[in-house]
Structure 1
Amino acid sequence: MAAMDEKQARMWATVCHLAALAGYIVPMGHVFGPLVVWLLKRHDSPFVDDQGKEALNFQLSLTLYGLVAALLVFVLIGLPLLLALLVIQVVFVIIAAVKANEGQTYRYPMSIRFFK
């Protein structure tokens, strides 16, 4: 595949991050959105590859944290944790998208590195 210019790379990296918001429409869309964009565009740009993996790692981490929080609902702390995770997801995804659009790499806090 042909390498893309910097402007296109920034746009696709931004899309990788924002695709996670698909989870509010499609079940598991928060994982499949970044996964699909990353798989389609990772060979076109090192920046898109890096930010796609970063977006995917964060969404997989949030899924794991959400499962733990869901189990903790039975001891009454899970619901506030689930709500906090929703806010954290939206805020960090927006920050990451803005940084990617500016051409800066972004590392999510609390992210487990499943893909390196």
Structure 2
Amino acid sequence: MTESLTKHERNLASLIHASTFSKFFIPFGNFIIPLVLWTANKKEYEFVDYNGKQALNFQISMLLYSIILGIISIPFFVGFLPNIFDFDHFGFHHLNGYNNLNLNFDSDDFRFGSWLLPIGISGLVQGALFVVNIVYTILATIRTNEGQTFQYPITIKFIK
């Protein structure tokens, strides 16, 4: 496929992949800009059509995975909320006068073990999704600019 590709096609396809980084500057820019570039050029160039679908499918999949992970972690946050308002952990129930300030921090009173591990795991998975998104977008941009076809991993094909 690389023999018949023009420089313009390769640049346009790699621009579609690279434009997904616009999410750091424009809300939902990782969907809007590649979608505009793809729809404007998909009928003219088969290579641009393929790469536009790949980039959009990957971004939609990453959004879906993040939403699912957020929904899964909601019960752990809700389970933690009653502990936020329980000021007895810090000895604040003794603050009835300004002259006898008694702050008592006892590490045995903290009940962080029940929610820290699941929230930490969900945070690590969110971080891993972020790194996967960055790394594979850079790889796709480079390989597409070289004229190679690139297929993202863990992608659900919403656009066929």
TM superposition score normalised by structure 1: 0.90
Q: Post-superposition shift, 1:85? A: 1.1
Given candidates 104, 114, 135, the residue that maps to 1:91 is 135
What's the CA shift string for 1:4-33, capped at 9, x where partnerless? x61100000001101110111111111212
Indicate the percent of aligned positions where both proteins have the same amino acid: 37
Q: Alpha-carbon deviation of 1:62?
A: 0.3
1:30 is aligned to 30
State whether structure 2 residue 19 is matched by structure 1 residue 19: yes
The range that moved more, 104-113 or 19-28, is: 19-28
Aligned residue in 1 for 2:124? 80
Q: Deviations over 1:16-67 (max 9, x none)?
A: 1011101111111112121111111111200000000000000000000010
- 8 Å CA contact 1:69–1:79 kept in 2: the answer is no
Runs of at least 4 residues off by over 6 Å: none
Gaps of 5+ in 2: 77-117
Cross-structure match for 2:94:
none
8 Å contact 1:57–1:112 — kept in the other structure?
Answer: yes
Tell which deviates more after alignment, 78-87 or 51-60: 78-87
Give the superposed CA RMSD. 1.2
Contact 1:16-1:52 within 8 A present in 2 as well: yes
How many aligned residue pairs are there?
112
1:39 and 2:39 correspond: yes
What displacement does 1:72 show?
3.3
Task: Determine the C-alpha separation between the residues in 2 that align with 1:19 and 1:99.
Answer: 15
Instruction: Indicate which of 102, 106, 110 corresponds to 2:150.
Output: 106
- Paired with 1:66 and 1:78, the residues of 2 have a C-alpha distance of 10
Counterpart residue type for residue 32 of structure 1 = I
Task: Kindly state the Cα deviation for residue 68 of structure 1 after the two structures are TM-superposed.
Answer: 1.2
